[in-house]
């Protein structure tokens, strides 16, 4: 099994903020899932449905939808659709890049 590369900001700052402050562990899990499916695999984006995310993580689809709204509002995620009924293309954003100490 390969290691999962993770910015330490995700664990040191984002996790306590989303889970402790926002009281939304599901939002952190969705971000981590999208990170794994894209950035950790060397890709900028991932095309995945709400239902797939929900099934893979073990959450309700409506919980995933709410988490995605929260991530977009916090500018931690961008989403695009090729057309109105297409599967979303997500890009986990890392606004902290360049702000971390060495």
Alpha-helical (H) ranges within 8-81 are 8-9, 15, 25-37, 50-57, 61-73
Q: What is the pLDDT of residue 5?
A: 75
Question: Do the bridges between strand 89-92 and strand 46-47 make them parallel or antiparallel, or are there none, so unpaired?
Answer: antiparallel
More confident residue, 2 or 102: 2
* Residue range 69-79, pLDDT digits in tens: 999 999 999 99
Over residues 82-91, the mean pLDDT reads: 92
Say if CB 22 and CB 79 are below 8 A apart.
no
Per-residue pLDDT tens over the stretch 20-64: 888 889 999 999 999 999 988 889 999 999 999 999 999 999 999
Q: Which domains does the chain have, with CATH numbers?
A: 8-92 (1.10.10.10)
Q: What is the pLDDT of residue 89?
A: 95
Q: At 8, is the pLDDT very low, low, confident or very high (cuts 50, 70, 90)?
A: confident
Report the pLDDT value the prediction gives residue 100, as an integer from 0 to 100.
47
Residue, of 98 and 75, whose pLDDT is higher:
75
């Amino acid at each position: 099994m390969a290691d999962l590369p993770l910015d330490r900001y995700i664990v040191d700052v984002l996790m306590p903020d989303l889970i402790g402050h926002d009281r939304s562990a599901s939002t952190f899990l969705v971000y981590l899932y999208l990170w794994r499916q894209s950035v950790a695999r060397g890709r900028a984006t991932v095309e995945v449905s709400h239902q797939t995310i929900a099934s893979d993580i073990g959450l309700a689809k409506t919980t995933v939808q709410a988490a995605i709204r929260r991530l977009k509002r916090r500018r931690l995620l961008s989403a695009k659709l090729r057309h109105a009924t297409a599967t979303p293309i997500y890009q986990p954003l890392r606004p902290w890049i360049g702000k971390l100490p060495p």
